[in-house]
């Protein structure tokens, strides 16, 4: 019973930082896309910090529950990706890079805010305050989750942000060749 209680407690402590991390990540993409000519996410109500439009049933609900059941120490999952019409981005290559890097940058910035909160809680909140331990643990989880999400998304494999960032430096032929080689490696093996 104690093990299950610890898992539920860990999930509850990590859930708010996790939701914040994935929402800020997607809003970062949507905001930069809007600044470079694509209003698709804004028009669909996705340029918001309200987590409800960003919830993906599998990535935002099922994966965190699996984390709790299996006892994985750091919450993992994703939000529903914001829709971006890459044809509307101007100037295309620069905007493609900036839109792609915006999500990881938003997570790094949020991690630094969480680190500031972590230090402020440690220094200024009395240790006998009844919310000290959950706030301290939540800020620590926010640092870890945001840095992990930023680094993971920099991997240059589709559909991660790193692949779009890499694509922004390629010619159209190189980009098509890269996508073809990924598809061939993923679907073509063993046939």
CB 18 within 8 A of CB 145: yes
Counting every residue written for the chain, the total comes to 191
26 carries an active-site annotation: yes
| Helix 63-70 × helix 2-35 angle, to 10° | 150
26, 133, 167, 173: the catalytic one is 26
Helical ranges in 44-171 per DSSP H: 63-70, 92-124, 132-153, 161-167
Catalytic residues: 26
């Amino acid at each position: 019973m104690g093990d299950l209680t610890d898992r539920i407690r860990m999930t509850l402590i990590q859930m708010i930082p996790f939701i914040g991390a994935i929402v800020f990540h997607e809003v970062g993409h949507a905001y930069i896309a809007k600044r470079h000519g694509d209003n698709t996410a804004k028009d669909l109500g996705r340029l918001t910090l309200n987590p409800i439009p960003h919830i993906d049933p599998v990535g935002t609900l099922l994966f965190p529950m699996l984390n709790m059941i299996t006892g994985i120490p750091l919450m993992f999952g994703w939000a529903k990706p914001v829709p971006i019409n890459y044809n509307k981005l101007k100037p295309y290559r620069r905007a493609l890079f900036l839109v792609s890097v915006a999500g990881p940058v938003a997570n790094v910035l949020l991690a630094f805010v969480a680190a500031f909160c972590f230090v402020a809680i440690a220094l200024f909140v009395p240790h006998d305050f009844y919310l000290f331990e959950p706030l301290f643990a939540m800020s620590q989880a926010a640092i870890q989750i945001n840095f992990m999400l930023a680094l993971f998304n920099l991997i240059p494999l589709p559909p991660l942000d790193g692949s779009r960032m890499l694509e922004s430096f390629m010619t159209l032929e190189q980009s098509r060749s890269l996508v073809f080689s990924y598809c061939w490696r993923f679907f073509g093996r063993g046939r």
